[in-house]
Structure 1
Amino acid sequence: MKKIKGSCLCGVVSFEVTNTFEKLFLCSCDQCRQITGSAFASNLFVGIKGFDWLNGIDDIIKYQVPGRDISKSFCRVCGAGVPWANGNGTKMIVPAGSLNEPVNVVERIRIFASEQPIWASELEQTPAHAEFPDLS
């Protein structure tokens, strides 16, 4: 099976993973929104055997949300999100934005949609720009 590469923003942390992801969760829970600073977290799930660290494992910091099976791993240099193992160590959770190539996903699921902020519910109708719009 083909592997693809991913990394943090600065490239200190890098990894490769089998390009067959079981699920893509777009999560709008309060904790995921706070962890990402966005409308939702976009996390891919893959078996632990399909994942290998290439560089920077000692440069990863992990924050565990108290009382929940929610965590955030990030590069200590640039702060970008990087993969982490689930609670029982059987799956790797890979932030979709950390991958450098297109992904193959079996199933896409939106979760905790009831916690999605009102401002995010109309994103499809928001004008799109290829770059920064003129701010003057």
Structure 2
Amino acid sequence: MSKLKGSCLCGKVSFEVASSFDKMFLCSCDQCRQITGSAFASNLFTAADQFKWLSGGDDIANYQMPGRDISKSFCRTCGSGVPWSSGDGTKMIVPAGSLQGEPEVAQMYRTFISEQPLWSSTLDQVEAHEGFPS
């Protein structure tokens, strides 16, 4: 099976993972929008034994929301989201944007669309540019 590499923005934290993922969730719930600062979180799920840290384990910080099953792991230097383990340790949740390359995804889901902000529901209609518009 082929593998993908991934990292944080500054490169201190890096990992390798099998390129085939069980599930991808594009979640628009209020908490995922707040924790990512975006319209939705894009997280891939894979078995823990398909994942390996390459560097930066000591550079990872974790936030666990008290009383909720909401967490985030991030690089202490640049703040980029990095993978984290599920509560039972059987899965790794990988922020899709941290990967270098295109993953293969068995099932994709858009979740909590009732909490999706109106400004993000028509993004396919917004004028697209390959870089900054002039």
Task: Return the TM-score normalized by structure 2.
Answer: 0.98
Q: Percent identity?
A: 67
Aligned equivalent of 2:103: 103
Which runs of 5 or more residues in structure 2 are unaligned? none
Q: How many residues align?
A: 134
Matched residues in 2 for 1:53 and 1:112: separation? 31
Aligned equivalent of 2:21: 21
Aligned Cα RMSD in Å? 0.7
Aligned equivalent of 1:49: 49
Matched residues in 1 for 2:112 and 2:66: separation? 19
Matched residues in 1 for 2:113 and 2:58: separation? 35
Aligned pairs for 1:22-101 within 5 A: 22-101=22-101
Deviation of 1:69 after TM superposition, in Å, equals 1.3
- Structure 1 residues 11-32: Cα deviation after superposition (integer angstroms, max 9, x where no partner): 0000000111000100001011
Task: Return the TM-score normalized by structure 1.
Answer: 0.96
